[in-house]
Structure 1
């Protein structure tokens, strides 16, 4: 798939099955995620790869425990079950601001770099034939997931990238009407 087709046709997919990327494919994805724009070479991102059966079981348990601990209710428990079983691989992307360099950059710039790393992960997965979806919401604020991912006080989970083999055909380009997003001078 050429780069322009990849960029203009990538879509989120909730129908993900095994297999997940193998070790070599995952390595390519993580390498792509670390090559994003990063003013000052701050590297303000961390990745938690959940791929083994034991890891996925732990992940599902943490989602359920989050719902229970925070009293989110039955509807959220159903969502937790769905998210926990949606894909054979989950990659947690954490924003970890770096202030330990001589000239630190503003945290908002560093967070943008971390977000780019999540998107690069998605594109690298898609380029290798895998579909994915970026999940946020109540899971990214879970104190239990934060602890499991080794988050420091200022760290934030910015997304869970669920990755797997396409379970169904995803639609192509959205043919976005650009007039509402673009101004020209």
Structure 2
């Protein structure tokens, strides 16, 4: 798939199944994620790969414990169970601001880099034939996930990349009406 087709046809998919990417494919995805624009080579991102059955079970448990401890209720528990079983591979992307360099860049700039890394991870999965969806919401603020992902005070989980094989075909290009988003001088 050429790059322009990949960029214009990428869609989120919540209907994922096995097989998940293998070790070599995950390595390629992570390599792609680290090649994003990164002013000052700060590398303000980390990845938590959850791929084994034991890892996925622990992840599911943390989601359900989050709902219980935060008293989110029955509807949130159903959502936790759905998210926990959504895909055969989860890659957590954490923004981890780097202040240990002589000339650190502003945190907002570093967060953009981490966001680009998450998007590159998605595109690299798509380029290898896998679908995915970027999950955030209540989960990224879970104290339990933050602890499991070894987050420092300033770190922020910016997304849970749910990755797997598609169970149905997603649509093509959205053909966005650009007039609301573009001005020309």
TM-score, structure 1 as length reference: 1.00
| Correspondence 1:168 to 2:177 | no
Following the alignment from structure 1 to structure 2, what is the Cα–Cα distance between the partners of residues 66 and 80?
Answer: 9
- Alignment correspondent of 2:44: 44
Number of residue pairs the alignment of both structures matches = 185
Query: Cα distance, 1:20 vs. partner?
Result: 0.4
Query: Cα distance, 1:139 vs. partner?
Result: 0.1
Where in structure 2 are there 5+ consecutive unaligned residues? none
Following the alignment from structure 1 to structure 2, what is the Cα–Cα distance between the partners of residues 87 and 173?
Answer: 24
CA displacement 1:2-38 (0-9 Å, x = unmatched): 0000000000001100000000000000000000000
Following the alignment from structure 2 to structure 1, what is the Cα–Cα distance between the partners of residues 44 and 14?
Answer: 28
The runs of 4+ residues in structure 1 deviating greater than 6 Å are: none
Q: Secondary structure at the match of 1:6?
A: helix
Q: Secondary structure at the match of 2:123?
A: helix
- Alignment correspondent of 1:55: 55
Q: What is the 5 A alignment of 1:103-142?
A: 103-142=103-142
CA displacement 1:48-91 (0-9 Å, x = unmatched): 00000000000000000000000111110010000000000000
TM-score, structure 2 as length reference: 1.00
- Alignment correspondent of 2:11: 11
Q: Secondary structure at the match of 2:11?
A: coil
What RMSD over aligned residues (CA atoms) do the two structures have, in Å? 0.3
- Alignment correspondent of 1:22: 22
